A and B are shown apart, each in its own frame.
Chain A
Amino acid sequence: MFEIFGVPSNALFGQLLIGLINGSFYALLSLGLAVIFGMLNIINFSHGAQYMLGAFVAYLLLQYSGLGYWPALIVAPILVGITGMIVERLMLRWLYKLDHLYGLLLTFGLALIFEGVTRNYFGSAGLPYTVPDSLQGGRNLGFMFLPNYRAWVIVASLTICFGTWFVIERTRLGAYLRAATENPTLVRAFGINVPRMITLTYGFGVALAAFAGVMAAPIYNVSPQMGSELIIVVFAVVVIGGMGSILGAIVTGFGLGVVEGLTKVFFPEASNTVIFVVMAIVLLVRPAGLFGRRA
């Protein structure tokens, strides 16, 4: 096999595939964030904690009601989404007219509460959650061994991401949603229940985070701080993609996963920071982000 910069090509392709898999998580999470920010103008700092709650609910469903991975993929996002909707109804509703900062502070506080309570009951070392039997094992692709579960992650993530993009950008419901964000008063005048739409949208964004959490449970450590480790990177992804852009979040998520994967091959110690370097560069060149529309 040929070599690129001293790395054998099959190792490189393996890392690119891994990068795509990580990018799937970034894309799912940044999609939820972009939907919430684009539609509601709320900077949802509790997104990481909601991702973590998704994983914990999956664990609890397994422990206490025997519901395995596949039912949890549906039940956990619904449950966490409902808590999200409650939060929106009771707390976030009052902040829409205020500066973005208030939403950020509130959701940040909520994230700390979720994390602290979870750590209090479950400790910080984490909980075991195994890959479902139907997805165990993997196949040898020649240049690497690809676990079936990770292939499933890419497929599921792509499906959900583009499904969401399609609904928001190409269907009537999505059109109502986008209109309601731009001019809620006028849309209300047409008889559309805007507050309910906003609540459901926030719930959907939170459910996306929880879905990513359930998908992460078998392969990443289910611990209270799993969200806070990821959320900073996800925010960088959303900023690079452009804060309100759905497509930007998806494409940037996958793209940055690949960039991080490449960094892990050539300069692993920097793999934590490369995304922020990219963010700094992008913001200098295009302040609205790669796909951003706002000034």
Chain B
Amino acid sequence: MRKTLGLAALTAALACSGANAQQVSVKIGVLSDMSSLYADIGGPGSVVAAKMAIADFTKANPNVKVELISGDHQNKPDVGSQLANQWYDVDKVDLIIDTPNSGVAFAVSQITATKNKVFVVSGAAASDLTGPKCNANTVHWTYDTWMLANGTGKALVKTGGDSWFFLTADYAFGHALERDTAAAVEKNGGKVLGKVRHPLNTNDFSSFLLQAQASKAKIIGLANAGGDTINAIKAGAEFGIVKGGQKFAGLLVFASDVAALGLPTAQGLTLTETWYWDMNDANRAWTKRWQQERAGKFPTMVQAGVYSGLTHYLKAVTALKSAADGKAVVAQMKTTPTDDPLFGKGTIRADGRKLHPAYLLEVKAPSESKYPGDFYNVKATIPADEAFRPLKEGSCPLVSG
């Protein structure tokens, strides 16, 4: 795969050599969870999205040669770190993109800053990536825990869900999501009655749900993602959580999770995302292309973010004519406004936060769904300047310093 792409790009470049174009060479690494609970959120689908971005960009800019590799971090920060180091040092990778799993993302972000490369995070969520852990080489693209907390959390408190109990995945992402949501809940007049932390990749949630039931909180906040969220909601249906008067808040739910749960179980779930395949014609057209390699599946916002982020990175590299200086490329990305078919127009802030609108979505009932993939009703649009944490509140050293 990587050889074919490299050869194709090389051939294209050679074919244009008569025009005296200056060659810009870039190597991209898609670091994702290819085999575990987040593999449908990012994974091979992100690689397809990256390939599409490269194909579209090199068609318009034939003097750019892009090579693509991918790797599986297996949700282990040590594996992710080892891959990142090897890619940067040995394989001469310039950009690492995607990386669901905030624990891995923190590690890779540090390594990227030390080696002066670029890290575009599409998959990971923790808002600390543009907060205390921000650096000049990292851009946080698609979404983060603050946006989720203030989208879903605020909406639920405003509609009467004023007491919360958290089921938290016991690692960086879960902690960040729980912290941001608790803050949002309390800011809007709600109360947090308790929490329980479960190991990542938990099969059975019955014990934890029992504790949530005992707390009598109106909302059970699921500060987890992927397989964990699916298992929790499935167990909740069994234990009569909703019948007992409590509601689930799926703080991070993707289209792939809704597909796995099935609409009968997932209906009514409120969630916040920044991209939905069925929202407009441009998204639908892109999805159709994407599905040629991922038949029967629907792209998530993370995979769309990989396409969008990679496109903007390539634009910056082309403008600078070199990918060598990571900080310079990221600075260029921040000064150039973004524009792509999926996320439309947007900007990247000084702390590395990409800004775009967020959408409050509700899962449709089975009777409302007219075709496969018809998952959501769009309940509200949160404009870009409200959707993400204000710049001053982040404690990012780049901003205050």
Contacts and interface: CB of A to CB of B under 8 A. Distances in A.
Chain A CB within 10 Å, residue with most, of B211, B238, B257, B265: B238
A150 B201 CA distance: 21
Interface in B173-224: 196-199, 201-204, 206-208, 210-211, 213-214
A3 interface: no
Contact of A119 (B39, B211, B213): B39
A127 B262 CA distance: 8
A221 B260 contact: yes
Contacts of B69: none
B206 A150 contact: yes
Given A119-B39, A125-B226, A138 B207 contact: no
A131 B236 CA distance: 12
Contact of B239 (A119, A130, A145, A261): A145
A271 B199 contact: yes
Given A124-B43, A138-B239, A268-B208, A225 B244 contact: no
A147 B237 CA distance: 10
A271 to B, nearest CB: 6
Q: Is the interface of A mostly helix, strand, loop or mixed?
A: mixed
A223 interface: yes
A268 B207 CA distance: 9
B37 A271 contact: no
A123 B37 contact: no
Interface residues of A, number: 40
Interface string B6-35: 000000000000000000000000000001
Given A119-B35, A123-B40, A221 B227 contact: yes
A128 B263 CA distance: 9
B199 A272 contact: yes
Interface stretch (A7-15, A35-43, A76-84, A92-100): A7-15
Contacts of B170: 268-269
Nearest to B211: A11
Interface in A131-148: 131, 137-138, 144-145, 147
Contact of B36 (A147, A150, A225, A261): A225
B315 interface: no
Given A125-B257, A218-B238, A268-B197, 14 more contacts: A15-B207, A119-B35, A119-B39, A123-B40, A123-B256, A125-B230, A125-B256, A126-B260, A130-B262, A138-B239, A221-B203, A229-B201, A229-B203, A268-B170
Interface of B: 35-37, 39-41, 43, 170, 196-199, 201-204, 206-208, 210-211, 213-214, 226-227, 230-231, 234-235, 238-240, 244, 256-257, 259-262, 264-265, 297
Interface of A: 8, 11, 14-15, 18-19, 21-22, 119, 123-128, 130-131, 137-138, 144-145, 147, 149-150, 218-221, 223, 225-226, 229-230, 261, 264-265, 268-269, 271-272
